[in-house]
Amino acid sequence: MIFSKTEIEGVYVIELEPFQDERGFFSRIFCEKEFGQAGLVSDFVQVNHSTSRYKGTIRGLHFQLPPHSEVKVLRCVRGSLYDVIVDIRKNSLTFLEHFKIELSESNNRMLYIPTGFAHGFQTLSDNTSLIYFHSDFYHPSAEKGLKYNDPRLSIEWPLPVSQISKKDQEHNYLSQDYQGIEI
């Protein structure tokens, strides 16, 4: 695995190094030792798998409040998606800036998201599946979200929205005095 820093502190793109032969390929998507050598959290407690049926589906932007803020590692295992994270760390130099990346089953990339970020994505193909590693369990009382089309975030989604949950539609726009979360 190759761990590459991004312009936002703590966010990494992880490039897999698959072994390929006539049978197909083999690729490691997690190694505690390699994550540790890169200085990244590796104590994951939950792995989730989600599938979105339709191209243009948006999920997010989701996060959990402290003390249940979580590190996430994402890997697209089928289809492709436009992944977006927003820095909501109070006093961060990149507060409310976002990082975007295309993840697909074929580009061998994963995204490492530290605590203090809201996460969402839009599918670029039908039947897109994503695997998420989480450093904390899901806590409904800590669950929060940002509005995917909040003008303060200036996120340009690549496709018209085809599907979005009622819950994600109902997230509020950020108030002018929003200061983020303390990590």
Active-site choice (62, 68, 134, 178): 62
For residue 168, report the phi and psi dihedrals to the nearest 5 degrees. -70, -30
Say which residue the tokens 């909040």 belong to.
Answer: 150
Q: Is residue 112 annotated as part of the catalytic site, yes or no?
A: no
Q: Cα 69 to the chain's mean position, in Å?
A: 13
Active-site choice (82, 112, 132, 148): 132
Q: Which of helix, strand or coil describes residue 36? A: helix
- Cα-atom radius of gyration of the chain, to the nearest Å? 16
Residue 109 bridge partners (DSSP): 15
Give the separation between CA 93 and CA 163, rounded to whole angstroms: 33
Instruction: Pull the structure tokens for residue 170.
Output: 């109902």
What DSSP state is assigned to residue 89? B
Instruction: Pull the structure tokens for residue 123.
Output: 């599918």
Say which residue the tokens 């002018």 belong to.
Answer: 176
> CA nearest 100: which of 81, 85, 110, 122?
85
Question: Beta-carbon neighbour count of residue 60 at 10 Å?
Answer: 22
By annotation, the residues acting in catalysis are 62, 132
